[in-house]
Amino acid sequence: MADIIKNVVIIGASGNLGASIFKALVASNRFTISVLTRPESTHIYAPDIKILQSDYSELSLVDAFHGQDAVVSALGAAGLADEIKVIDACVKAGVKRFIPSEYGSNSKNAKATALIPFFGLKAQINAHLKAQEVNGLTWTGIAAGPMFDWGVNTGLIGFNIHTKEALIFDGGNRRFSTSNLSQLGNAVVAVLSKPTTTVNQYLYIDSFTASQNEILVALESATGKKWAVTKSTTEAAVTEGRALFAKGDFSGLLLLLKANFLGEGYGSDFTKDAKLSNEILGLPSQDLASTVSALAKGEAI
Ligand SMILES: NC(=O)c1ccc[n+]([C@@H]2O[C@H](COP(=O)([O-])OP(=O)(O)OC[C@H]3O[C@@H](n4cnc5c(N)ncnc54)[C@H](OP(=O)(O)O)[C@@H]3O)[C@@H](O)[C@H]2O)c1
pLDDT at position 150, please? 96
Average pLDDT, the chain: 96
Q: Does residue 123 sit in the same domain as residue 156?
A: no
| Gap from CA of 76 to ligand 1 centroid (Å) | 2
The pLDDT of 36-57, averaged and rounded, is 96
> Do 98 and 73 contact (CB within 8 A), yes or no?
yes
Q: Does residue 122 sit in the same domain as residue 66?
A: yes
Q: Does residue 62 sit in the same domain as residue 198?
A: yes
Whether the per-residue pLDDT at 2 is higher than 80: the answer is: no
Pocket of ligand 1 (CB under 6 A): 12, 14-18, 37-38, 41, 43, 74-76, 78-79, 101, 103-104, 144, 146-147, 151, 156
Whether the per-residue pLDDT at 253 is higher than 70: the answer is: yes
What's the structural domain count of the chain?
Answer: 2
pLDDT at position 230, please? 97
pLDDT at position 8, please? 98
| Gap from CA of 82 to ligand 1 centroid (Å) | 12
Confidence of residue 231 (pLDDT cuts 50, 70, 90): very high
Whether the per-residue pLDDT at 136 is higher than 60: the answer is: yes
pLDDT at position 22, please? 98
The CATH number linked to 257 is 3.90.25.10
Confidence of residue 155 (pLDDT cuts 50, 70, 90): confident
E-strand stretches of 123-257? 138-143, 159-160, 165-169, 175-178, 201-204, 208-211, 228-232
Tell me which residue has its CA closest to atom 27 in ligand 1. Answer: 79
| Gap from CA of 21 to ligand 1 centroid (Å) | 12
Closest CA to 150 of 176, 182, 172, 122: 182
Q: Does residue 86 sit in the same domain as residue 221?
A: no
The CATH number linked to 126 is 3.40.50.720
Tell me which residue has its CA closest to atom 31 in ligand 1. Answer: 79
Whether the per-residue pLDDT at 197 is higher than 80: the answer is: yes
175-189 per-residue burial string, b: 16 or more CB within 10 A, e: under 16: bbbbbbbbbbbbbbb
Q: Does residue 188 sit in the same domain as residue 228?
A: no
pLDDT at position 107, please? 85
Q: Does residue 216 sit in the same domain as residue 79?
A: no
Whether the per-residue pLDDT at 241 is higher than 90: the answer is: yes
Higher pLDDT, 1 or 208: 208
Answer yes or no: is 261 within a domain. Answer: yes
Q: Does residue 161 sit in the same domain as residue 80?
A: no
Answer yes or no: is 279 within a domain. Answer: no
Q: Does residue 108 sit in the same domain as residue 220?
A: no
Confidence of residue 256 (pLDDT cuts 50, 70, 90): very high
| Gap from CA of 250 to ligand 1 centroid (Å) | 15
Tell me which residue has its CA closest to atom 18 in ligand 1. Answer: 76
Q: Does residue 47 sit in the same domain as residue 14?
A: yes
The pLDDT of 1-5, averaged and rounded, is 72
What residue numbers bound the domain in which 253 lies? 148-178+207-268+284-296
